[in-house]
Each structure stands twice: as structure tokens, then as C-alpha cells.
Amino acid sequence: MTTWLAVAAGGALGALSRYLLSGWLTGWLGKGFPWGTFGVNLLGCCLIGAFYVWLTQELRLAPVWQAVLVAGFTGAFTTFSTFALETLTLFESGRGLVAALYVSASLVLGVAGVALGMKLARVLL
């Protein structure tokens, strides 16, 4: 039961953080590209890489922290379903090139973000 509560608490913070940051990015950079989801997902990739290193390799924290930070916070912070919807909406509106750029950049920069997060976590500890 403790793990469930940890995931729920982390998830609540992650969802709220996603909502606030995504809205801010969209307001700042405009609605011509799904900047909010893109930025949140890339930051989430960096965070999950850092959390993985800190939790499993460096700090070796109790498994409940993995539930809070990885499954809870990062799982709720990032959003694949919104990414998929935005991609399809771009295609349907005749912006196939922008949709392809969004998918490609999300994939390449997402994997690079995980690697960057892991590297930064190792350097910072």
C-alpha cells in the first residue's frame, strides 16, 4: 500500500507540473508547434535518466523513491497520448512535414535527453 501511495503522490505532482510547464511553454513559444508537450517530454527524458542513475547506481535509495520519482512523477509528467494526438492532428491539418519533424525530433532528442540526464547525474554526485 505504501508504494501505491508513493506512486499517487508522485503522479499528482508530475501531472500538475506538466500542466503548468506545458501551458507556460505554449504561451511563451506559441501554438504553431506543440511546444508544451515537446518541452515537457524532453525534460521528462532528462529527469528519468537522472533519477535512474541516482536511484539505482549512485544513491541507492529505497525502492519507494523509484515509485515516487520514476513511476509516479515522471510517468505523469510526460505524456505519450498527447504526443500521439498532436501528431495526428498535425497530419490531418495538412502539416505532414511538421508532424514528421515533431516525431523525429521527439524520438532522437528524447533518447539523447535520457543519456544527458544519466551523464549529468553521474557528474553531479
Question: 75 labelled as ligand-binding?
Answer: yes
What are the pLDDT digits (tens) for 56-81? Answer: 888 888 889 989 999 999 999 998 98
- Banded model confidence at residue 15, pLDDT cuts 50, 70, 90: very high
How many CA atoms lie less than 13 Å away from 55 in the CB half-sphere? 17
Number of domains comprising the chain: 1
Is residue 5 over pLDDT 80? yes
Confidence label for 14 from pLDDT (cuts 50, 70 and 90): very high
**Predicted TM-score of the model (pTM):** 0.87
Domain span at 76: 2-124
C-beta separation of 36 from 21 below 8 A: yes
Q: Which of these, 8, 125, 120, lies nearest to 64 by C-alpha position?
A: 8
- What pLDDT score does 62 carry? 85
Measured between alpha carbons, how far is 79 from 94 in angstroms, rounded to an integer? 23
Task: Determine if residue 87 is labeled as part of a ligand binding site.
Answer: no
